[in-house]
Amino acid sequence: MLQVAVLRQDPEAVKQKLAVKNFQPLELVDEIIQLDDQRKASQAKFDEVQSKINAASKNIGAFMAQGKKDEAEALKKEIAELKPSLEPIKAQYTAVEQELQNKLVLLPNLPQDEVPQGKSAEDNEVVRQLGDIQPPAGGGKPHWELIVDYDLVDFETGAKITGRGFPLYTGQGAKYQRALIQYFLDFNTEAGYKEFIPPFMVNEASAFATGQLPDKEGQMYHVTEDGFYLIPTAEVPVTNIYRDSIVQEAELPLKLTAYSPCFRREAGSFGKDVRGLNRVHQFEKVEIIQLTHPEKSNEAFQQMVSHVEKLLQSLELPYRILRLCGGDMSFTSAITYDFEVFSAAQQRWLEVSSVSNFETYQANRLKCRFKNESGKTQLVHTLNGSSLALPRILAALLENNQTPEGIKVPAAVQRYFGKALITK
């Protein structure tokens, strides 16, 4: 959530930033500033009346000590007349404050200067691209055929158990999935990230704190009786570890990683873009998160991008990195780099990771602060990235590594999987 002070500092600059994200209506900025003026006026009025009551109360004792009962009684009468006026002022302040907060949460995060203009994925910028994107000999099969040939994933039984978009991994498919998860976690912990196993449901406060509510309410599975939400990513519960917390400056950066299943109601359109593992309602993902000093968050962002890139390189997959344009960025992000791997059989790029810097946007909702050496508290910066999302990684690994003898397993994963080849 943006801070009102940021809006007040330069409203026109804020509007220009919001326009990069194609946000409308921009007049919301002015409405929030006006509400903040009303809030301050109400607070000043309340403080003025309270100050008069406090001064009168103090003088009553002095008059009584001097035997000036008439003056003391006059002050008591004055206090009795002033006190009833406090409640409506307080009520007005509360109402204005609530309206201000309701409008403030409608504003997305401001994009950094390097975020390009654009409305959709077609306007994203390619930062770099590495690897051979030639199809396998003979074209190769798409992963939805390979998983049948090798008995790796059973979509029909998954649909029977739950519904469409809930895959059932079987045999070597389940083992390969588990091997990749373990490899990703080990890769992260060896880089200094502390591992967690978080709850896979969160309460409303946690979902709001990281920006899922109210922006993505329709995309989340909601357990209505308990008010819980199934998590769309481990980012939500893990970042909330530090909700309502003050950490010491010396503790920063805090580097966290976690595996979790992820649940998303929105499965997208029909067709090849969502066929097989391309887009599902439940999937597995390993996440990395950092809480950093504001002056070091851009450096941390580049470190996280480099970390994910090295992980992809170890999987021997062709990939590219995109700088997302304003129109394709998330509500909460200040800057995002997407990683895409090339699907050899489908001849298309598949997104497998997003690395984002949220700056103070999440931290302001989280009320996550740090105390510097002088004792002053300020908001941390939060960042997160997929390291990695499993379904499309698995799809690309299957499609890009198919041979007449079987499907090759990357060397880095072989010790987790137990062999170098997936066979029929």
- Backbone torsion region of residue 276, taken as left when φ is above 0, otherwise alpha when ψ lies between -120 and 50, otherwise beta: left
* Strand-pair partners of 422: 407
* Strand-pair partners of 228: 223
How far from chain centre, in Å, is Cα 34? 29
CA-angle at 218, arms to 212 and 223, nearest 5°: 85
Q: Residue 86: CB partners within 8 Å, gap ≥ 6?
A: 46, 49, 50, 53
User: pTM to 2 decimals?
Assistant: 0.91
Q: Where are the alpha helices (DSSP H) in 361-421?
A: 361-366, 390-400, 411-417
Residue in 147, 138, 180 with CA at minimum distance from that of residue 409: 180
The reply to whether 233 sits in an annotated binding site is yes
* Strand-pair partners of 222: 229
Structure tokens at 298: 């851009």
Residue ranges covered by each domain of the chain: 4-104, 121-422
Q: What is the pLDDT of residues 75-127, one digit of tens each?
A: 888 888 888 889 999 999 999 999 999 999 999 999 999 999 999 999 999 99
Domain 4-104 adopts which CATH fold? Helix Hairpins (1.10.287)
Cα–Cα distances in angstroms (integers) from residue 118 to residues 23, 49, 125, 303, 330, in the given order: 12, 52, 10, 26, 13
> Could you tell me if 328 and 307 are in contact, meaning their C-beta atoms sit under 8 angstroms apart?
no
The span from the CA of 50 to the CA of 330, in Å, is 45
Which amino acid is present at 103?
A: K
The reply to whether 178 sits in an annotated binding site is no
The span from the CA of 31 to the CA of 27, in Å, is 6
> Could you tell me if 262 and 238 are in contact, meaning their C-beta atoms sit under 8 angstroms apart?
no
Domain 121-422 adopts which CATH fold? BirA Bifunctional Protein; domain 2 (3.30.930)
Which of 4-18, 68-82, 200-214, 348-362 has the least mean pLDDT? Answer: 68-82
Residue 138 confidence (pLDDT) above 60: no
The reply to whether 351 sits in an annotated binding site is yes
Q: What is the pLDDT of residues 191-241, one digit of tens each?
A: 999 999 999 999 999 999 999 988 777 889 999 999 999 999 999 999 999
The reply to whether 264 sits in an annotated binding site is yes
- The residue assigned the tokens 């740090």 is 370
> Could you tell me if 206 and 316 are in contact, meaning their C-beta atoms sit under 8 angstroms apart?
no
> Could you tell me if 327 and 118 are in contact, meaning their C-beta atoms sit under 8 angstroms apart?
yes
Measured in degrees and rounded to the nearest 5, phi and psi for residue 34 equal -65, -40
Q: Do domains 4-104 and 121-422 have the same CATH topology?
A: no
Residue 366 confidence (pLDDT) above 80: yes
Q: Residue 371: CB partners within 8 Å, gap ≥ 6?
A: 246, 247, 248, 249, 377
> Could you tell me if 342 and 34 are in contact, meaning their C-beta atoms sit under 8 angstroms apart?
no
Which of 17-21, 70-74, 123-127, 241-245 has the least mean pLDDT? Answer: 70-74
* Strand-pair partners of 245: 368
* Residue 270 confidence class, pLDDT cut points 50, 70, 90: very low
Q: Where are the alpha helices (DSSP H) in 128-254?
A: 143-149, 155-161, 171-189, 204-209, 235-239
The count of other CB atoms within 10 Å of the CB of residue 223 is 10
Mean pLDDT of the chain: 93
Residue 269 confidence (pLDDT) above 50: no
The reply to whether 235 sits in an annotated binding site is no
The reply to whether 352 sits in an annotated binding site is yes
Q: DSSP string of 200-223?
A: SEE-HHHHHHTT-TTTTGGGS-EE
Q: Which residues of 339-370 are buried (b: 16+ CB within 10 A; e: fewer)?
A: bbbbbbbbeebbebbbbbbbbbbbbbbbebbb
Which amino acid is present at 197?
A: I
Burial class (CB in 10 A: 0-12, 13-18, 19+), 129: middle
The reply to whether 275 sits in an annotated binding site is no
